[in-house]
Amino acid sequence: MKQRKSPAGSSLSPVSNLMSGLSLGPVMPETKTTEQATAMLEAVERERDLFAKHRAEIKQRLDDVTEILRQIRLKEEKLDNTHNAIDTKMENMDEMIVHLEFEKTGLVRWKQELQKQHDVNSKQTKKLEKSQAAFQKQSDLVAQLMRQQQETKSLLDAREEEIKSREEALALRELAVKKGEITLVHREQALKAYEQEVQKQINTYLQNENALQERMNGVLSH
């Protein structure tokens, strides 16, 4: 607190000046002494009032400082709470990041497993397509063999009809022989030749039948 200067510019207070005058000056009359005492009391009162005013100002300033400190503490507490909340949120965010990283790792692993399964399915699909192509080829071959068998059967039926016709012709021929139109030797030769032809046709048919059967067995074995 700054010291209050006297009107004369001296560093001593009025009370000090008065006491100095009383102690150093000559003996004064009683009236003047009373006036000086009164002035001294007034100066003391003024000093007391000034001190009380300064004390009140200091108290007010202390109260203001206390209030400022209280506000600062409140702000510090609020700031600490804010920091704690931020720290909590940061911890939660860290946990969330760890959880997200874990989920990301799981998704990557799941994607890799899906890709592996897709590759396996692609390979199995290609194998199935090859199997279907082979089966279709075998089906076409079986159909072709069945057509050939049907054609062979039709040819055999025609041959049988031809044999029947020849048998009928032979019967007529035998009848003609009996009637004397041909000799017995000629009939035996013709019959033998016919039997050879029939046997030849039968052998040819059996060979074709065996070959067809072998081909069908080979196809079915695959």
- What digits encode the pLDDT tens for the residues 153-212? 888 888 888 888 878 887 776 676 566 655 666 767 877 888 898 899 888 888 888 888
The burial class, CB within 10 Å (0-12 / 13-18 / 19+), for 152 is middle
Q: Residue-wise over 108-143: b if at least 16 C-beta within 10 A, else e? A: eeeeeeeeeeeeeeeeeeeeeeeeeeeeeeeeeeee
Annotated domain spans of the chain: 135-221
Residue ranges in the chain whose pLDDT is less than 50: 1-28
pLDDT at 218: 75
Backbone phi and psi for residue 116, each to the nearest 5 degrees, phi listed first: -60, -45
